[in-house]
Structures are given as C-alpha cells and as structure tokens.
Structure 1
C-alpha cells in the first residue's frame, strides 16, 4: 500500500492508502501435474549475424545458407544462458561505459520535428503538501467508459475509523449519483497525477460503490481520450 493525499467534495483533506486490486491467479501452463521450467538458450553468436556474414561471404550469401550453415557456431549455439547483464551500445556497436546524454525530441502532429530539449524531471505529486483535488467535475459511468481508455485501476482503502468514514462518505455520494469524479493536482486541480518521479501522468476518475456498511472506492487512471476524427459524424 502507498499513501495518497487528497480532498473530498467539501475540501477536507486526508492521507489514505491505495493499492492494486486483487487478481485471480493465472492458469497454470504445461502438462497437468508437472511444473514448467523456463530456460533461455543461445540462438546465435556475433559471427552468425548479418554484418559478419556479409563481410565474409558478400551481401548475396543466401546460397551459402542453403548449401551449409555458416551462421551456426556448433560449439556455442544451443548452450544454456544463465544470468545476464544489460549493456548499452553506440550506433557503431561499441560498449558505452558512461551514461549517455538523453535528448527529448518533440514531434508535431504531422510527424515533423518541432524541437529538441533536455528532459526535465517530472516529480511525483500524489503525496505532497498540496493534495490531489476533488474537482467536482462529474461524468456518468456510461459516459466515461466511452470517452477514456483506462490503463490501470487502484483501490483507495482506509487505515482507521476516521479514514473509513471519510472514504465511505465519498463512495456513497458518488454511488448515489451513478457518476465518477475527475481528480487533479495543482492549486486548481487542473494537472494530471504523477505517482512516481518521471512516471506516466494520468487523469484520475474516482468511482464509488456501496453495499450496506461496506464500500469500494476505485481510482481509474487514463492517459488517453477517445475522440472522433475531424469531419466525422457524432
């Protein structure tokens, strides 16, 4: 569970917890009664890659592949691969020993390059002094599922009696209206939610469900809105 600082419809703020929804275990793979063991094997060596074969046999080496197996290193191909390490290479295939400089390229809608810039860190903003805002902008459940693509859903949970009442009232109000409310960050709640530094910014929609004395408060996260192309009918 991770903390999130947010306000309710009345502007009162509190820090509560959120976490992933429980999921069903995936169906087992393989033969019934036997465990599946995953293993990686070496498929090719550097001498079997296109550049090496082209340098040795010429660009048109297809006949050599038919007549023999020049791309196969019989001593090494097929060996089991154990632990590996990630390395970065230059465009020339040389190993990079220091971190490369990252450059952010911005493209216009027509695909042309607009600008190049050094990327700035996007700081997390869901558990800071400025709380996540309950904007009051409501969407019906039927409307929101047709307009937005939800990438992830997390559940808000209480940690004591006070936060139970706080979240239960929010869920009951939303459930009674059959609606979800847009959440946002910043002084006016107009900014998206960023859960970790340099993480994906999301729009958040809060949905409440109530049954007797229990509640479920779901936060649906989206970074894509569905829109009709210009000139298309409604």
Structure 2
C-alpha cells in the first residue's frame, strides 16, 4: 500500500494510506458481449522514413512513391508486434548503447531557453520524516475547480480507529466550510508534492465530504493553473 505522512491544522501528524480514485468505466467499443483485442503492427522500417527517402530519391520523392512504393518493406511492414524494447537514438539516428547524459533545460513563457543544467534526482516527499502540511490557504470548492486543472485524485484512508478520528475530523471541518485546503511538502509546507523519485511535482488540494459516520477525504493534484490572458498583452 502507498502511504502519506500527513499533518493536520493542529500540527498533529499520522501516516495513513492513499489509493487512486478510479473513474467509472465509459462506453466500450465493439459488439455487445464481444471483447476487443488491440494489436500493434509494424508501419514502417528505417528505410521508409523521410530522411532515408530524401537520401535515395531527393526532396521531391512523391512520384517515386507512386511509381514504386519504395517506402514499403514488403518483408517487414504489417508484421504483428509482440514485446518491444525501447532504445535511445542519437541526433543522427544511431542506437546509443549506453545511457544518455541527461540535462535539464528550462524554457521561459515565450519558448526561449532560459537555463541548462545537470539533471538531478529529486526524491519523493510525501512519506518521509517531514509530514505533508496544511498550508492554511483555503479556497472555496467552486473557486478551486475553476482555477486549477486537476490531473489526478487520490483517496486518503484510515488504517485504524485512531486514524479514522484523525481523518474524519479533517473531512468534517472542510465539508462544513465548503472549502479545499492546499497541502505542501517540506519543513515549511512550501514545496510541491512529489510521490516518487523524479515524479511530477503537484499542488495538493484536500477536500472533505461526510455523510453521518462515513467520510471521504480526497487529495486533488494539479500542475496547471487556469488564468485569463491579459487583455493588454493580447
């Protein structure tokens, strides 16, 4: 089970379990009662790619395609693919037999490169000695769902009677306020949430729902804020 070390508004913390909330299954393709099997087939070989065709027939190779189908390797194209292994290619298309040297490139809003630096491993921070904290910043539920695009939702669950009381109190407080609270990692709760090494950093929004003795505590994750474009800039 995946776990999260969570601190509440009163600075009390506990380690509880988390589980991904699965969306309901949508309509399925195909005939009723019939199962569809998806298969992959080889569409082209390296000799049928643009660069190889340009080298063999020049930039204007449209007529060559009509006359002789040079892009089709009749011995390979259309073969059913089973297991595949990813490989890294160099800029010239050569297979790299050792791991590539990774570099982090940071781009500005205008698309220009701002910074280039050595890639570093960033550890996860949701289940270590420092708990994930309430930031104190709360947003009405309606405002949160219109300002941020939620990419994932995780259910926070209790593991015993004590953590039930701990989480139920959180859910009840948020439900009564009809609000979501932002969560943050690190000693001061200002860091984004990272669930595994080199994982995507997310902002976390905790939502609570209660129904009698039952509760739901949902952690919504976002890495995209929705903003109206500046009229003057546009």
1:231 deviates by 4.5
Report the Cα offset of residue 26 of structure 1: 4.1
Cα pair distance change 1:109/1:23, threshold 3 Å: closer
**Equivalence for 1:114:** 114
Cα distance in 2 for partners of 1:131, 1:145 equals 25
- Paired residue for 2:7? 7
Please give the alpha-carbon distance, in whole angstroms, between the structure 2 residues aligned to 1:45 and 1:151: 36
2:103 aligns to what? 103
Partners of 2:114 and 2:22 lie apart in 1 by 43
Please give the alpha-carbon distance, in whole angstroms, between the structure 2 residues aligned to 1:16 and 1:174.
18
Question: Partners of 2:3 and 2:229 in 1: how far apart?
Answer: 39
Aligned to 1:73: 73
Which runs of structure 2 are paired with 1:4-153 in the superposition (5 Å)?
Answer: 4-153=4-153
d(CA) in 1 for partners of 2:111, 2:57: 39
Q: Which runs of 5+ in 2 are unaligned?
A: none
CA distance in 2 between partners of 1:50 and 1:147 (Å): 43
Tell me, what secondary structure is at the counterpart of 2:60?
A: coil
Residue 218 of structure 1: SS of its match in structure 2? strand
SS at match of 1:151: strand
- What's the CA shift string for 1:120-140, capped at 9, x where partnerless? 221111111111111222111
Task: Give per-residue Cα distances to partners, 1:187-232, cap 9 Å, x unaligned.
Answer: 2211111111111111111111111111111111111222233346
TM-score (norm 2): 0.92
Q: Distance in 2 between matches of 1:124 and 1:175?
A: 29
Report the CA distance shift for 1:125/1:94 in structure 2 as closer, same or farther (over 3 A): same
Q: Residues of 2 paired with 1:117 and 1:53: CA distance? A: 37
Alignment partner of 2:106: what SS?
A: strand
Aligned to 2:217: 217
Residue equivalent to 1:229: 229
1:106–1:179 CA distance, 2 compared to 1 (3 A): same
Partner Cα distance (1:156, 1:197) in 2: 21
User: What is the rounded CA distance, in whole Å, between the counterparts of 2:227 and 2:137 in structure 1?
Assistant: 19
Aligned residues: 232
Range that drifts further, 150-159 or 34-43: 34-43
In 2, distance between residues paired with 1:125 and 1:119?
Answer: 18
CA distance in 2, matches of 1:154, 1:171: 14
1:161 — aligned with what?
A: 161
